[in-house]
Structure 1
Amino acid sequence: MITLGIDTSNKTMGISLYQDQNLMAEYVSTNKKNHSVTLMPAIDFLMQENQLKPSDIDEILVASGPGSYTGLRIAVTTAKTLAWTLKADLYSLSSLAIIAAGAPQQFCGLIVPLINARRDNVYTGIYQWQNGEMRVVKPDGHLSIYELFTQLKEQNDEILFIGEDVPVFESMIATEMPQANYIADSILPRTMQLVKNIGEKVSSIDEFTPQYLKLVEAEENWLKTHKSEGKSYVERV
Structure 2
Amino acid sequence: MTMLGMDTSNQGMVLCLADNKQLIGTYLSANQKNHSTTLMPGIEFLMAENNKKPKDLTSIIVAEGPGSYTGLRIGVTTAKTLAWTLGIDLLAVSSLAVIAASYQEQDGLIVPLINARRGNVYSGAYKWQEGQLIQVIEDQHTELVAWLESLLERKEPIILTGIDCLSFEAEIKELDSPFIQCDLESYNQVLDGRAFLKLDKLAKKVTSIEDFVPNYLKRVEAEEKWLETHQEQAGSSYVERV
Within-5 A mapping of 1:99-118: 99-105=99-105, 107-118=106-117
Mind listing any 5+ residue stretches in structure 1 that lack a counterpart? Answer: none
Within-5 A mapping of 1:32-71: 32-71=32-71
One-letter code of the match for 2:74? I
One-letter code of the match for 1:151? S
CA distance in 1, matches of 2:237, 2:130: 43
Displacement of 1:231 after TM fit?
A: 4.1
One-letter code of the match for 1:216? V
Displacement of 1:127 after TM fit?
A: 0.2
One-letter code of the match for 2:133? M
Query: TM-score, length-normalised on structure 2?
Result: 0.94
Displacement of 1:82 after TM fit?
A: 0.3
Displacement of 1:37 after TM fit?
A: 0.4
Displacement of 1:44 after TM fit?
A: 0.6
Q: Is the 8 A contact 1:93 1:196 kept in 2?
A: no
One-letter code of the match for 1:196? D
Q: Is the 8 A contact 2:12 2:33 kept in 1?
A: no
Q: For each residue in 1:22-74, what CA deviation from the matched residue of structure 2 results, as whole angstroms up to 9, or x when unmatched?
A: 00000111102421101111111111111111010000000000000000001
Alignment match, 1:176: 175
Displacement of 1:234 after TM fit?
A: 1.8
Displacement of 1:149 after TM fit?
A: 1.6
Q: Is the 8 A contact 1:149 1:177 kept in 2?
A: no
Mind listing any 5+ residue stretches in structure 2 that lack a counterpart? Answer: none
Alignment match, 1:225: 229
Task: Give the superposed CA RMSD.
Answer: 1.2
Q: Is the 8 A contact 2:65 2:216 kept in 1?
A: yes
Within-5 A mapping of 1:139-158: 139-158=138-157
Moved more, 182-191 or 118-127: 182-191
CA distance in 1, matches of 2:20, 2:201: 15
CA distance in 1, matches of 2:227, 2:219: 10
Displacement of 1:6 after TM fit?
A: 0.5
Displacement of 1:177 after TM fit?
A: 4.2
- After superposing on structure 2, the runs of 4+ consecutive aligned residues of structure 1 that deviate more than 4 Å are none
- Count of matched residue pairs: 236
Alignment match, 1:30: 30
